[in-house]
Homo-oligomer: A and B are copies of this chain.
Amino acid sequence: MKLRSTQKDVAEMAGVSRATVSYVLSKRQDGNIRISDDTRNRILQAVEKLEYRVNVTARGLKTKRTHLLAVLVPDLSNPFYPVLIRGAQKAAYEADHRLIVFDSFSTPEGERDFLEAALHHIADGLILSSFYLEQRDIKHLLASGIPTVGVGPRLWGSGVDVVQTDQLQAVRAVIDHLVSRGRRRIAHIAGDLTTLNGQLRLEGYRLALRVHGLEPNERLVVEGKFRREGIAERVDSFLASFAPGELPDAIFAANDVMAIEAMKAVRRRGYRIPDDIAVCGIDNIPEAEYVEPPLTTIGNDVELMGREAVSMIVDRIRHDSVKDPECREFPFELIERNSS
């Protein structure tokens, strides 16, 4: 590591004290302090000449701010999250913050590692797509005073802010759509049922069916894990388990990546989509538009969620806010495409 010039160097070169340098550089207008143009220019010149840049670590030690926000996601290879992250980054950038990204690989250990890092105050704020952290973990976070926003309904009530869309309603919209298309034997590829999201979507599926006078049938439910791996195989054997006349006429998957995998299996077994079996997902990942046939799904403005999450955090950081936790809900939209 090369030796960097410090404020002291700048101060000496400009012939002023270090405090003055600090003052000029942090150019906050609040005070009644005024620096003469001459002094200011000398300082700025010295900065230029020495290629001086503030040491963010030293500043952080003093100000207790890292200007870092940490984002926990369960699976970076699920396109939902990069979109969220992009939105977050845009907002973070505007607020002069950077993003630490952490992929938990959907494991409790990954989430705990993140928690541990967070508790070390590696960041000024947290965005949490968590499936496994529990109330007592969140308690630690709350106690630490690090502004945190959860993505999805799961953390709502635990004391942190939350951005989410109404899961039950979203699922309802899909089922309504499917039923309106004449589908009656609607199967569900559930997400990880140890997670609230998985449970909620399954629950929503059952609720919606009943609304239409359809009795949920356990045989029509397969559990997935929200991930790509193994879904095609599972759906394949799922489909194989039905007598020809009793085949489901629709598959509703708890997210798009599983829906797309399901499509693969459906086609592999020689059924047509949507003629024989309609397929729907949730998330509206970019891929959903590009698969064949394009996937009907539920979309919402994930990038906006990312931005809002950051803005909620930054708000709390800025105002050292202690107001009650807030749940910001985002609208969703049924995106009808040819898979249904």
Residues of A in contact with B (beta carbons under 8 Å apart): 1-2, 4, 53-58, 60-61, 64, 66, 68, 70, 76-77, 79, 81-83, 85-86, 89, 93, 98-103, 113, 117, 119-122, 143-146, 228, 260-261, 264, 267, 286-287, 290-292, 320
Q: Are A77 and B68 in contact, CB atoms less than 8 angstroms apart?
A: no
Give the contacting residue for A93; candidates B1, B76, B113; CB below 8 A: B113
Q: Are A4 and B100 in contact, CB atoms less than 8 angstroms apart?
A: no
Nearest CB of B to A304, in Å: 15
Q: Inside 8 A of A120's CB, which chain B residues have their CB?
A: 53-56
18 CB < 8 A contacts A-B: A1-B144, A1-B320, A2-B145, A53-B119, A55-B61, A55-B120, A57-B64, A57-B121, A68-B100, A76-B85, A79-B82, A85-B101, A86-B103, A98-B102, A99-B101, A99-B102, A264-B290, A287-B290
Q: Inside 8 A of A81's CB, which chain B residues have their CB?
A: 82
Q: Are B77 and A86 in contact, CB atoms less than 8 angstroms apart?
A: yes
Q: How far is the CA of A4 from the CA of B118 in the complex (A)?
A: 13
Q: Inside 8 A of A260's CB, which chain B residues have their CB?
A: 290
Give the contacting residue for A1; candidates B4, B145, B287; CB below 8 A: B145
Q: Inside 8 A of A119's CB, which chain B residues have their CB?
A: 53
Task: Given A76-B86, A99-B100, A291-B291, output 15 extra A-B contacts at Cβ < 8 Å.
Answer: A53-B120, A56-B122, A57-B61, A57-B121, A61-B61, A76-B85, A77-B82, A81-B82, A82-B82, A85-B103, A98-B117, A100-B101, A260-B290, A264-B290, A291-B292
Q: Are A228 and B98 in contact, CB atoms less than 8 angstroms apart?
A: no
Q: Are A100 and B102 in contact, CB atoms less than 8 angstroms apart?
A: no
Nearest CB of B to A330, in Å: 19
Q: How far is the CA of A286 from the CA of B103 in the complex (A)?
A: 18
Q: How far is the CA of A54 from the CA of B82 in the complex (A)?
A: 31
Q: Inside 8 A of A2's CB, which chain B residues have their CB?
A: 143-145
Q: Inside 8 A of A143's CB, which chain B residues have their CB?
A: 2
